[in-house]
Structure 1
Amino acid sequence: MATSKSEDILGQKWDRCVADTLIKIGRPWPLIFGLGAGAGMGYANCQHEFDEPFLVKAEKIFVKPKIPAAPEASPTEAQ
């Protein structure tokens, strides 16, 4: 399985954001409203995409077993 660099993931997000914004700006009716609404929707979508947490796949998580500490002898047992 290929690993992705964080720069590549960030670049893909920026590409999607720019493409999404350009598509939404290109609405024909009325041009001024379309530009404002398209830019606002594109900005909101980008903000949502960058704010979402990085999801780690479950098969990449390894749980280390806890090693129990050796019980210490109490002062009454030593006598």
Structure 2
Amino acid sequence: MFGLSEIAILLIVVIVVFGAKKLPELARNAGKATRILKSEARAMKAEKEAPQNPAGVRVRPGGAEGNTANGPGSGAPQA
């Protein structure tokens, strides 16, 4: 890909263009951007692999014991 001489020339050009004082800040920002990109990629991968609920209905933990037709929150009048 790149040899040692090409990388050295590129580094010298970067130092001349940006200046030695800006390089640590640029490297820090590049590192932050890389971390954000990696975390977003992981989140998207986890979201893709997670089982999806196509109806968008929230499933209550605990099974069917709280899922009655006239239960709280069903809109039916309570006695």
* TM-score (norm: length of structure 1): 0.36
* TM-score (norm: length of structure 2): 0.36
Higher helix share: 1
